[in-house]
Chain A
Amino acid sequence: MTEPADKVAVEARYGRAANLWVGIKRFGGALTAREDRFFLLLAVMIGVFSGLSVVCFRMAYEWVRLWLLTSAEAPPKVRLLLVPALAGLLIAIFVKRFYPGLRGSGVNQTKTAVYISDGDIPFNTVWGKFLSAGLAIGAGFSLGPEDPSLQIGAGIASVIGRKLRLSRENLRLIAPVGAAAGLAAAFNAPIAAVIFVIEEVVGKWSSGILGAVILSAVSSVVVMRGFLGPEPLFSIPPVGPLHPVELLGYAALGLIGGGVSLLFVKVIVSLRSWLRTLPDWTQYIQPAIAGLLVGVIGIWLPQVLGAGYDVMDQTMHGRFVWQLLAVLALAKVIATSLSFSSGTPGGMFAPALFVGAMVGGAVGGLEHHFFPAVTGGIGVYALVGMGTLFAGFLRAPMTSVFMVLEVSGNYSIILPVMISNTIAYLISLKYQPVPIFDQLSRQDGLELPSLEEEREEESLHVEDAMHPPAAPALRAEKTIEQVRSDIEKSQQEWLLIYDRTRGWRLARRAELLEKAAKVPANTRLADIIPKEQIPIVHADNSIDLPLRKLGDRPFLPVVHRAHPERLIGIVSREDVLRAYARTGVEEVAIPGPS
């Protein structure tokens, strides 16, 4: 019996489609079979999506800028007075009525997602951030696109992760993967983005997360460069040889940069804190007033409007005299503080870089004025200044170094960058112990883990808890006759024995004496001690290590790293508790003896 021709055709068509789906399922099944492999694949996909989104975001605020403020660097005054104010009003209504979660820092919002919401970032946050930050930056608010890009990336990752029903642990990890992708695409600097996310959001270097973060960052940058070109953010002027004396100049930049970082943090935190004390309804007009004030500043100093990357680039080419650079730095601090504290969505990365470039350029210009023979180009100072503020203001010292190296592509400035950044970081650390992101999250009533505080916290070690052994360790190769008197004289219940081939053993004194009585005197001690090798610890180990290794043992031997047979001390559960109590360190839950 033959079937009608059209039915055969339909079956053939659907059969092919079914085969294709089976093939995709098989391929997908192979890729998704192992969670770790799948996670890496997912990181690439998130990177691609984030890269695309960041490109669109950039297009959005660039178009808005063109439409609202014209193509001139110094827009007409009327527009400067109207556009940021009206945009601020619109943004306030948008944020207050529809997306209240958009206020504040994207970094903190991503951390909130990681540490509080199990990696959950609603998709409307992505849209909301895209629209509101795009409008704000385009309308001239002194805010940067990196922070929103980071949050957009994290949001996309979170959405994809939820759709793929990732485990809770992986869902928590996927948001930073997206954050790195977003930041990398916004900065065109994958290394700096990876380090920032690890340094500030994740807080730990594990191979699983690192691989995913790198893959997502790289793939997003590849996508971004595919659309916007491979050019770095700045065209860096050539860097000449560095005069050794000039390092003093960079040290001065570090000092001044540290001071400006402190000022910047204080102004933002104080202004934000004060604005939060005002009645709730004022949140509708705060961005509008901030926009108006930013517009007024922009009439005289249009350079402070928006992210300001072009101005930074021009500073590196010596466009401005040092006096103007100093004024611009101050104006940017004010404009950014107004913009950010009013709750307008947008980031502080670009403004921090801007202030850093201006401060660097001003310091370089001033030094060049007085010491022209030993001072290099202003462009290098501006570049180093960016890293300095990044280290001092955002408190990301590693990121700051790599960011400068990555955007400059020049490793000859590594010394000035390290000197200046370190000084600024230390000044900021000394006089502003709580980093800005943590201060902002605390203002919002959130106690997010402070990764810097964790980093800087003094940790206890085994050597802080151990005490000297009451009796020397026995040697397993000796005969019972040789060690009998030592065992009998010992007052300890437990004795430590070192076996050259099998490590450390722990034995009850009574059991040892009992066994020794049953065997000939020339029997080796090794033959009667317990077979179980006990864990050892070293004096420099963290104090919590003995707790994890002790099990039901009364104590552990603390031995020399180079001479494992040498007993330095012993550490017990009680020793650890006493050490914690002595230093007033927060209590830890210690399992009781079994």
Chain B
Amino acid sequence: MPAGGGPCPRCAADLVSWRASRTLVLTLCALLLVPMFTTTGVIVRLFHDKQAKIAVNWERAGNINLQGGRAQTAIEDFHNALLYSPSSSKLQLELAEALTAQGQLAESENYLFNLRASDPDNALINLQLARISAREGDVNAAVTFYHDAAFGEWPSDTHASQIAAREELIEFLLKNNRGDQARAEALSMAADNPADPGVINEAAAYLVESGDTANALDQYQHVLRLEPNNVTALIGAGNTAFAAYEFSQADRYYSRAIVRGAKTPDIEADRDLAAAAAELDPFDARLDGRERQQRILQIFSAAQQRAQACMPAVLTNAATAPDDAKALAAARAALPAKLTLSVFNVHPEYADQALNWAFDLEKAVPSQCEGTLADRAIQVLAEENKES
């Protein structure tokens, strides 16, 4: 730097010239920045476009491979895609999905936790984490993530996605013998969607699966109040009523379902069975003593006929009967040869003995020896008797 500030005019001139040249250089530098910024901007833009295209291509290939069941190739594709779009949450999520599918849970979890840290309410991320926790057997973590997924932010179709996540949770709980939790989730799902018959039907089905038939029936009945002709609810209610040994009610629901178009052989068979069971049911609270004895006689008579056809040994002398028929033969021998209402009047204890013998016989008859509808109904009644 030239010395400045001195009195000599030459030095002052030098200083002025020096400053002017600096200003010129600075100005030129500033001007040079304009084309440099422009050129760099264009280059970067071109490169980003190229990167985006490459990422999209790899992503597409990854999705195709993932859908085709080639998870390992999909993982490589998604890794390649991430090289060109490293901050893409979508890609990381897809990679995590592929990793989960391939069983590389730890790596998948790392990506997901990273994503979750920046977007904790993202339902898809939480759902993936829930699935990983489920696979790892960490039930509590899975439930937490499923909840976060169900009540998180979905990219589209929020309602359906939420329901699907909750259903997945309930199925997971059922699979892990957490019936109480599953029941609570199902009831909560139904309660949150009081005007959606489809969801309530699903919830009711899960309630049945968790063993809560009473609440399931309530839910089906709720649907039927919303849509009296809902065939799914009618069948579900029929099944639930049947499972609760409410045979008349089941018969009515099945019949209504058939009237509304559910004419499959299964439903009709169920309806017939329910109707037969309702006709024979000796435990119906509405029956008086005589009517009950009459039904017992009907059951006993059907059982006798079945025994005649399939296990005649039980109707012979207990001493000569084969081992597997000895007990039944003895029980039959303890009863009079012919049972009537008047016998029951004299010996009311014969009614229960006869009923038990009929139930035992229907259970003991080999399944190859096909019975009538009444026989199948008696078997159902036997189950009911056993449970009660």
Contact = CB atoms under 8 A, between A and B. Distances in A.
B272 to A, nearest CB: 59
Given A28-B24, A49-B33, 4 more contacts: A45-B29, A63-B47, A227-B44, A228-B44
Given A235-B114, A318-B107, A164 B25 contact: yes
Interface stretch (A116-124, A255-263, A309-317): A309-317
B126 to A, nearest CB: 14
Interface of A: 24-25, 27-29, 31-33, 35, 38, 41, 45, 48-49, 52, 55-56, 59, 62-63, 66, 71-74, 160, 163-167, 227-229, 231, 235-238, 310, 313-314, 316-319, 377-379
Interface in B18-37: 18-27, 29-30, 33, 36-37
Interface residues of B, number: 42
B30 to A, nearest CB: 8
B235 to A, nearest CB: 48
B25 A73 contact: no
A38 B110 CA distance: 49
Nearest to B51: A62
Interface of B: 1, 18-27, 29-30, 33, 36-37, 39-41, 43-44, 47, 50, 54, 58, 76, 79-80, 82-84, 86-87, 106-107, 109-111, 113-114, 116-117
- The interface residues of chain A, by DSSP majority, are classed as helix
Contacts of A49: 29, 33, 36
Nearest to A32: B22
A167 B3 CA distance: 11
Contact of B110 (A45, A165, A318): A318
B106 A318 contact: yes
Q: Top 7 nearest A-B pairs by Cβ distance?
A: A28-B23, A318-B110, A238-B117, A317-B110, A167-B1, A237-B114, A71-B54
- The interface residues of chain B, by DSSP majority, are classed as helix
B19 A66 contact: no
Contacts of B117: 237-238
Nearest to B2: A165
Contact of B43 (A33, A59, A66): A59
A173 to B, nearest CB: 13
A24 B24 CA distance: 9
Contacts of B24: 28
A19 B24 CA distance: 15
A24 B27 contact: yes
Contact of B87 (A25, A29, A73, A231): A231
Contacts of B43: 56, 59
A72 B113 contact: no
Nearest to A65: B83
Contacts of B21: 165
A55 B44 contact: yes
B113 A238 contact: yes
B29 A32 contact: no
Given A28-B27, A66-B50, A227 B41 contact: yes
A405 to B, nearest CB: 18
Contact of B40 (A55, A74, A236, A318): A55
Nearest to A377: B110
A247 B54 CA distance: 42
24 contacts: A29-B19, A32-B23, A45-B26, A45-B29, A45-B30, A48-B33, A49-B36, A52-B33, A56-B39, A63-B47, A66-B50, A71-B80, A73-B83, A160-B25, A163-B25, A164-B25, A165-B1, A165-B18, A227-B40, A237-B117, A310-B82, A318-B107, A319-B79, A379-B110
Contacts of A229: 87
Contacts of A237: 110, 113-114, 117
Contacts of B110: 237, 316-318, 377-379
B29 A165 contact: no
Nearest to B1: A167
Nearest to B79: A73
Contacts of A38: 22
A45 B21 CA distance: 17
Contacts of A24: 23, 27
Contacts of A238: 113-114, 116-117
